[in-house]
């Protein structure tokens, strides 16, 4: 136990998390969002909460003017509440029956008039996260809310009541006023809520759960709806997803690199020690781990055949005829080797699928620099979110024990912690990073299907022997469309402030829009990565099987069978024929001596997991079900767990 925070298991096996106001974590928020934990309020923290509420009540009794307690809000801050309603002075009394005191009416009206969001309701996960975060920040004891009201909020969450919170309506200062009012209005028995998946009036949800409605006291409406809670909930949940997606991106990249039989030297530790951005160093290390054990990466160029279209006479035995490909090399004649003698002493003079170049395209070679920069953006956002989770973000702030206080303004201080710009700018950074990660993934997908760039794999990853197949052509179209959509949504909302409240709130953060956009963009990023994995698994099958077919042919010990796969051979008795025959024997020996070709161990596990859901596509088939399966597999987290090393097959 640290900082007073406790977790435990209760009788119904759902664990409990004690909220103290000091140590809520992103992992806790994710657990609350999934309704995997119940809320318990720290007793010592509740005592501090009640002490502040009692202090505020005493100041009201003494007639002290306090913003949001005995004054209006926003541009109405200059209006002091009277001792009674003005219409009470009418002959015969006030004809409008109003429940409660003016001070209670002020707080109630603040909530019910601010609950004006529009759009589809947030998912229950977001709303539950909002509830937990709001309770936690109020547990700090600087907001003036009563302990009993916090206990009612915790009971609302624990009963499984999910307020209906439409997703659009916050400008991110003063906090998330409108969405938090939708959250709070259910406590008053109004608004709407979900209970057991059924949408109903807020009062009915309370009745079914056996909970009483709350009558708000001094400053409680302001405490409930003034803060950065919606944007923070969206940001925390988005980071939870993005942490998994950036791991998944590394796995997709590793599978693609193995399918290319690419070069791994760009990921070496000593390389990245010279430019030690933390995310870059981490990504390079992860790639080394994911590729460990591969004998596809860094393979000698001359061993890799290129795809050739299958023909009835491509293979001379029944087992080989089942293949969906033929294989081929070109021999480099002696006349084309001058000036390259050193190279051809190291590599045999055969051109197959791999080009004779020491470096891959940027989408492969620069994976650490690009994925790593995204990791650094996420790290910065995590730092901001982790601070905000245990921060007080409403206004005014109450300091009942302020030393040397001479007047109420020394103890009830109007400030600006509700302003969401710290979160907004962090989310702008992440928002820009998402299409970057998606874009480099799409570029790798494109390289896999393009015969001009896929290093000897079949066009669109289909044998297409009868010229009727499209293969994976349109998979890349979908990825391209998603990348464009993500890019158009990446424009920062935080740079456009629109003043509100008659210009009393003349600069706002738009952080709620920013964080909501980021959370929504996570799904499409996952889809882009899923499409890369889907494509890379097909490409990997071709690369591995083509190399192993070459190896099997070589292991038969008949160099003439391998020679038949090589174009450019001199005619028998012609100049260069002896060299050709000797070099084919050398190629045959190198292939025969190689172990069975396979990707890295982690890539192998991921590929096998994909193949449990989606078989290799030997001929065109309906691909819609495959796409549904791969996107569902990515959404399940199973592949991300393999990528992070937290799971195995």
Active site residues: 67
Residue 215 contacts residue 103 (beta carbons within 8 Å): no
Q: Is residue 531 classed as helix, strand or coil in its secondary structure?
A: helix
Residue 12 per-residue DSSP state: T
The CA dihedral of 153, 157, 162, 163, to the nearest 10 degrees, is: 10
- Between CA 551 and CA 352, with CA 342 as vertex, the angle to 5 degrees is 30
First-last CA distance in the chain: 33
Residue 177 and residue 197: Cα distance in Å, rounded?
26
Helix axes 511-555, 601-613, angle to 10 degrees: 100
Burial of 11 (0-12, 13-18, 19+ CB in 10 A): exposed
Q: How would you classify the pairing of strands 192-195 and 162-163?
A: antiparallel
CB atoms within 10 A of CB 4: 15
Per-residue buried b or exposed e for 375-406, using 16+ beta carbons within 10 Å of the residue's own CB: bbbbeebbebbeebbbbbbbbbbbbbeeeeee
Residue 388 and residue 520: Cα distance in Å, rounded?
21
- What is the residue-wise DSSP string for 24-52? --HHHHHHHHTT-EEEEE-HHHHHHHHHH
């Amino acid at each position: 136990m640290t900082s007073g925070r406790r977790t435990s298991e209760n009788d119904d096996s759902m664990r409990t998390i004690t909220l103290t106001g000091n140590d809520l974590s992103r992992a806790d928020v994710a657990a609350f969002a999934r309704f995997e934990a119940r809320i318990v309020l720290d007793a010592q923290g509740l005592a501090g909460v009640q002490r502040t509420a009692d202090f505020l009540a005493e100041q009201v009794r003494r007639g002290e003017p306090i913003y949001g307690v005995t004054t209006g809000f926003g541009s109405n801050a200059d209006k002091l509440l009277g001792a009674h309603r003005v219409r009470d002075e009418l002959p015969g009394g006030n004809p409008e029956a109003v429940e409660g005191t003016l001070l209670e009416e002020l707080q109630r009206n603040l909530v019910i008039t601010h609950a004006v969001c529009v759009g589809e309701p947030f998912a229950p996960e977001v709303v539950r996260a909002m509830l937990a975060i709001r309770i936690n920040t109020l547990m700090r004891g600087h907001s003036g809310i009563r302990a009993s009201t916090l206990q009612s909020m915790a009971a609302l969450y624990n009963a499984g009541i999910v307020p209906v919170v439409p997703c659009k309506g916050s400008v991110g200062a003063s906090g998330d006023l409108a969405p938090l009012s939708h959250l709070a209005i259910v406590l008053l028995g109004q608004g709407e809520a979900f209970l057991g998946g059924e949408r109903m009036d807020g009062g009915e949800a309370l009745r079914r759960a056996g909970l009483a409605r709350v009558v708000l006291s001094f400053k409680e409406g302001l405490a409930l709806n003034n803060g950065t809670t919606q944007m923070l909930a969206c940001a925390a949940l988005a980071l939870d997803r993005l942490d998994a997606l950036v791991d998944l991106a590394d796995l997709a990249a590793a599978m693609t690199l193995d399918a290319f039989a690419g070069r791994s030297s760009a990921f070496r530790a000593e390389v990245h020690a010279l430019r030690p951005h933390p995310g870059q160093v981490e990504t390079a290390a992860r790639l080394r781990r994911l590729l460990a054990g591969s004998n596809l990466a860094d393979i000698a160029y001359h061993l890799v055949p290129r795809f050739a279209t299958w023909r009835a006479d491509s293979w001379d035995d029944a087992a080989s005829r089942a293949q969906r490909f033929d294989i081929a090399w070109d021999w480099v004649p002696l006349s084309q080797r001058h000036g390259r003698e050193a190279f051809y002493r190291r590599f045999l003079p055969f051109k197959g699928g791999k080009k004779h170049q020491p470096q891959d395209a940027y989408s492969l070679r620069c994976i650490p620099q690009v994925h790593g920069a995204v990791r650094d953006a996420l790290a910065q956002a995590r730092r901001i979110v982790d601070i905000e989770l245990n921060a007080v973000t409403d206004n005014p702030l109450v300091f009942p024990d302020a030393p040397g206080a001479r007047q109420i303004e020394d103890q009830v201080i109007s400030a600006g912690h509700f302003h969401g710009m710290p979160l907004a700018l962090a989310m702008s950074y992440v928002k820009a990073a998402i299409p970057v990660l998606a874009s480099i993934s799409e570029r790798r997908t494109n390289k896999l299907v393009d015969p001009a760039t896929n290093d000897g794999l079949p066009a669109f990853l289909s044998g297409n022997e009868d010229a009727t197949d499209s293969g994976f052509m349109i998979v890349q179209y979908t990825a391209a469309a998603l990348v464009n959509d993500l890019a158009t949504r990446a424009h920062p909302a935080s740079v456009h402030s629109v003043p509100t409240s008659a210009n009393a709130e003349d600069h706002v953060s738009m952080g709620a829009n920013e964080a909501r956009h980021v959370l929504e963009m996570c799904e499409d990023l996952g889809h882009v990565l899923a499409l890369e994995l889907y494509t890379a698994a097909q490409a990997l099958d071709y690369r591995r099987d083509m190399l192993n077919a070459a190896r099997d042919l070589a292991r038969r010990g008949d160099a003439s069978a391998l020679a038949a796969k090589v174009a450019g051979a001199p005619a028998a008795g012609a100049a260069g024929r002896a060299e050709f025959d000797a070099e084919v024997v050398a190629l045959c020996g190198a292939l025969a001596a190689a172990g069975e070709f396979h990707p890295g161990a982690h890539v192998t596990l991921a590929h096998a997991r994909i193949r449990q859901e989606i078989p290799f596509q030997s001929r065109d088939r309906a691909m819609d079900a495959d796409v549904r399966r791969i996107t569902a597999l990515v959404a399940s987290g199973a592949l991300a767990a393999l990528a992070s090393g937290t799971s195995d097959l």
